[in-house]
Chain A
Amino acid sequence: MTSTEPLLSLRHLSTEFSTTDGTVARALEDVSFDVHPGQTVGLVGESGCGKTTTLLSIMRLLPVTARITSGQVLFNGKDLLALSETDMRRYRWKELSIVFQGAMNALNPVMTIGEQIREAIILHDLMDKTHANRRVNELLDMVGIAPSRRDQYPHEYSGGMRQRAMIAMALACQPCLLFADEPTTALDVMVQAQILELLQKIQRLLGLAVVLVTHDLGVVAEVCDTVVVMYGGKVAENGPVDEVYNAPQHPYTQRLLEAFPDLNRPAGSLAVIPGTPPRLNALPPGCRFAPRCHKAFERCRVEAPAETDLGGGHTAACHLLEKAEAHQ
């Protein structure tokens, strides 16, 4: 672990959605993790486990039906949740920017790529139009798009190029933290690899901190320093990638890794986690993973486990670990 102060620190963040049938979906509960400068953090979990909601909560871009109920989002020690909307706007893109999944719809179809990139630079008053134009060319060049294509529209780009343009756009204001929300979804495998390579290159070049949301555990192993495993709106396990992958402590992480193909044991059959993720407006009373957990016992069904510190920045929320700790 780095000894520096965290760049971004989530403290007990909880977010709720009010659903159309009047119930409340607890999309995030007590989510805490840190992102240090220059670090790449992987945020993994099944669909609907709260990965994207976490990013949108940090950026304060949640839909009107959602509400952050408690917690803090400390960015360089300053709580973003306490800022006025006007002040928060200054942080967006300039300090924290985001690459959305499926770049097709994330780009405005009736605006040229160049204009969409330049717009962000002008908006944050970083430079005049001439310099901004030059900067757009530089950015496109950096992500491997010929600057001559800046006046084209999104539909004239291929899927991979759109994602590259989206990355160039995200870098426009030189943020220190980049969120990438499933940046390789809906791209073919070769292009996926290129995009990841590009992200890594840029991360090293600019010393960016990156939070990568994905459900591809292979990508996390390859790219990330630490990994946050989410399940049903909560952090199940969080720690350095090597440690979590080699010695997963939470039963969910264990099953998740077993369910992922490993080139070292190609003949082995893949594990399956029975059941489906919980509906967020009908959560089980105890541990959210208990109904699907192969190690669950009585206490798991009535009481939610607290996070256990396993040392070295490795934490996991499971009753089994609490017992182990108590025995020591």
Chain B
Amino acid sequence: MNRRDYLLRKIFFSLVTLAVVVVLNFLLFRVLPGDPVRAVIGRNVRISADTQQALREQFGLDRPVFPDQFLTALGQWARGNLGVSWSLRKPVSEVLLAKLGNTLLLIGLGQILSIILGVALGLLAGWKRKTAVDVGALTFSLIAWAIPTFWLGIILLAAGSTWLGLPTGGIVSPSNVGKPLYTVLPDVTHHLILPTLTLTILYMGEYMLIMRSSIMEVLGEDYILTAKAKGMSHWQVLRKHALKNAMLPIVTLIAINLGFTVSGAIYVETVFSYDGLGKMFQTALVKQDYPLLQGAFLLLAVSVILANFLADILYTYLDPRVKAS
């Protein structure tokens, strides 16, 4: 099978997955308990039945769920219209876009750092297996992987703000609110240190563990012995023969993690009051803002599908066997 056929097949399956997700995304919020209109009006019981009915009509909730509501929703989504947030009274897509940038900044930094550090540490541990380096790295990674996100966040927040004087939350200082982020970079960096550190430690453990077992498996392969028999040094063997093979599981892991980037920061953003998608998610859930949640779910699903598709493409360059299977 050539690359084109392979990609076409992958695109097809991605689209099928997307279709299933869209249907589920619609259904999920229709079977949830609670009356959306009550959520909007809150505790104000004086709103008349007529007004409530008018609200239902405005949101299209008076019509049957299927096919009317479903088809309307589908048509809107297809045009990029994700509806209007009930709590913020703004288009969902606008809200999501505004928060996405902040989250990408935080998670992007955290991912890049944890990939570099985790892979390097895993490589070192797997190479120097059963030494003090290996045991130390393994212990650190297992702890890092097992720690609850919010707990680590709170500890770092307390320690960092007390002893290092780092800001406790937010993305910029109050005096800089409203200015474009790139104009206040030192301030932003200051704010990013603690949440980024939290994310880096958390993800690093996972990357390290996978890389360690992957490199150990690869180093036991016959072709590694062949490479050594050719007269290569340990370093040459590692770089030219082991690394590419050992990176394959990491690529999958990166794809999965990037997909969850959108939602992955819920705890960290909440602990550090960071104005991103994760925090928005939490707020939307508390306020039962269904259109916003629905939009966020859709964004999450699409990014997971997209990340996996990118990983599939990357695989064709990393592993020549993929196309054949």
Give A residues with C-beta under 8 Å from B. Answer: 59, 61, 86, 89-94, 97-98, 100, 102, 105-111, 119-120, 123-124, 153, 155-156, 169
Contacts and interface: CB of A to CB of B under 8 A. Distances in A.
Nearest to B319: A110
Contacts of A93: 229-231
Nearest to B245: A110
A119 B231 CA distance: 11
Given A89-B233, A119-B230, A109 B320 contact: yes
A109 B320 CA distance: 8
Nearest to B231: A92
Nearest to B218: A108
Interface in B211-265: 221-223, 225-233, 236, 240-241, 244-245
Nearest to B221: A105
B308 to A, nearest CB: 21
A74 to B, nearest CB: 20
A109 B245 contact: yes
B324 interface: yes
Nearest to B236: A123
A90 B228 CA distance: 11
B84 to A, nearest CB: 50
Contact of B232 (A89, A105, A110, A153): A89
Nearest to A85: B233
Given A92-B228, A120-B230, 5 more contacts: A100-B222, A100-B225, A108-B245, A110-B244, A123-B236
Contacts of B221: 105
Given A110-B245, A110-B319, A61 B240 contact: no
Nearest to A108: B223
A210 to B, nearest CB: 16
A115 to B, nearest CB: 10
A105 B223 contact: yes
Q: Find the residue from A89, A105, A106, A110 having the highest chain B CB count within 10 A.
A: A110
Contact of A124 (B229, B231, B319): B231
B223 A97 contact: no
Contacts of A90: 231
Interface in B126-181: none
Q: Tell me if B's interface is mostly helix, strand, loop or mixed.
A: helix
B188 to A, nearest CB: 40
B223 A109 contact: yes
B318 interface: yes
A123 B231 contact: yes
B241 A102 contact: no
A265 B248 CA distance: 55
A169 B321 CA distance: 21
A89 B241 contact: no
Contact of A108 (B228, B231, B236, B241): B241
A94 B232 CA distance: 12
Contacts of B245: 108-110
Contact of A155 (B231, B232, B324): B324
A180 to B, nearest CB: 13
A92 B229 contact: yes
Contacts of B227: 108
A148 to B, nearest CB: 17
B158 to A, nearest CB: 44
Interface string B182-225: 00000000000000000000000000000000000000011101
A119 B228 CA distance: 12
A156 B324 CA distance: 9
Closest 10 CB pairs of A and B: A105-B222, A92-B231, A153-B320, A108-B223, A89-B231, A106-B222, A93-B230, A120-B230, A93-B231, A106-B226
A110 B229 contact: no
B118 to A, nearest CB: 22
Contacts of A86: 233
A172 to B, nearest CB: 9
Given A106-B222, A106-B223, A110-B245, A155 B320 contact: yes
Nearest to A56: B225
A322 B232 CA distance: 46
A102 B230 contact: no
A111 B320 CA distance: 8
B175 to A, nearest CB: 53
A124 B245 CA distance: 24
A250 to B, nearest CB: 31
A89 B241 CA distance: 17
B223 A94 contact: no
